[in-house]
């Protein structure tokens, strides 16, 4: 059993409770302006992360503030490369100005979902990270195009699972358009995460066991009740001997 795991949340998105979440997580994925946030919110979030000893990472998106980056758009691989490089460059500059070295990258919303399935988009993301800073850790689900692209470009991968989302038989998340997309009970979520860590399995909504690997656990910061959920989840995990810690770059 992996007794050390990262707990991450998407912050700098205007949810209104970032301060409370910074006290509970070990990694913050900070919005880089395309779906939410701007230079001021990035600066504030990185500064808060520094104060709390939380690792920071860029949370780049498709350019789609209207839909909060959660609508899949038709984009080419080169458009994705440019968008990634642009957002990473801005985030790197702000983080370094605050005196913080960025630790990871986690694509946001639709971009993440598309890259999980699309080899060319996944490769564009990995190439952009490699070109900006190859020491950045890429957060990606296990056994996906995104994770494979990262490995092909020599990036370190932190396999991500989701504490507050339900899974389907194919190993991916139930779409947010469905009523059973979210898991709202933190105790149930903790039991499921513990099984992921102990057995490498998660039960899908269709009732099938799906193979997973968990290096980092996501709690969405914009989900209603996110703070209480994260607090209970962390307490439950630590009570079972799990240590919460950000992944460390080994390159």
Contact 128, 84 (CB under 8 A): yes
Vertex 166, ends 108 and 188: CA angle to 5°?
120
In-domain check, residue 249: no
Q: What is the mean pLDDT of residues 54-72?
A: 97
Please provide the DSSP assignment of 169-227 as one string: TTSSBPPTTSTTSB---HHHHHHHHHHHHHHSEEE-TTS-EEE---SEEEE-TTSTTHH
Q: How far is CA 190 from the centre of its chain?
A: 18
User: What is the C-alpha separation between 138 and 146, in angstroms, rounded?
Assistant: 9
Of the candidates 246, 241, 250, which has an alpha carbon nearest to the alpha carbon of residue 2?
241
Q: Give the count of domains, the chain.
A: 1
In-domain check, residue 250: no
In-domain check, residue 251: no
pLDDT one-digit tens code per residue, 122-179: 999 999 999 999 999 999 999 999 999 999 999 999 999 999 899 999 888 998 889 8
Of the candidates 41, 223, 20, 250, which has an alpha carbon nearest to the alpha carbon of residue 135?
250
In-domain check, residue 193: yes
Domain extent, residue 168, equals: 4-244
Residue 167: helix, strand or coil by DSSP?
A: strand
CATH label of the domain that carries residue 38: 3.20.20.370
In-domain check, residue 84: yes
pLDDT one-digit tens code per residue, 80-108: 999 999 999 999 999 999 999 999 999 99
């Amino acid at each position: 059993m992996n007794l050390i795991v990262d707990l991450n949340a998407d912050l700098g998105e205007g949810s209104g409770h970032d301060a409370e979440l910074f006290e509970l997580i070990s990694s913050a994925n900070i919005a880089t302006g395309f779906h939410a946030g701007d230079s001021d919110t990035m600066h504030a979030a990185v500064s808060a992360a520094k104060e709390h000893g939380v690792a920071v990472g860029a949370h780049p998106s498709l350019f789609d503030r209207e839909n909060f980056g959660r609508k899949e758009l038709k984009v080419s691989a080169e458009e994705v490369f440019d968008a990634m490089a642009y957002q990473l460059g801005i985030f790197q500059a702000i983080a370094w100005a605050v005196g913080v070295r960025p630790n990871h990258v986690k694509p946001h919303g639709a971009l993440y979902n598309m890259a999980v399935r699309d080899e060319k988009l996944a490769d564009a993301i990995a190439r952009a990270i490699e070109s900006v800073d190859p020491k950045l850790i890429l957060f990606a689900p296990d056994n996906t195009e995104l994770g494979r692209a990262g490995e092909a470009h020599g990036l370190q991968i932190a396999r991500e699972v989701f504490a507050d989302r339900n899974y389907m038989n194919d190993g991916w998340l139930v779409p947010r358009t469905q009523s059973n997309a979210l898991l709202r009970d933190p105790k149930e979520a903790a039991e499921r995460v513990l099984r992921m860590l102990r057995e490498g399995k998660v039960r899908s909504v269709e009732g099938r066991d799906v193979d997973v690997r968990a290096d980092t656990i996501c709690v969405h910061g914009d989900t209603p009740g996110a703070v209480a959920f994260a607090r209970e989840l962390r307490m439950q995990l630590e009570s079972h001997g799990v240590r919460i810690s950000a992944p460390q770059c080994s390159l």
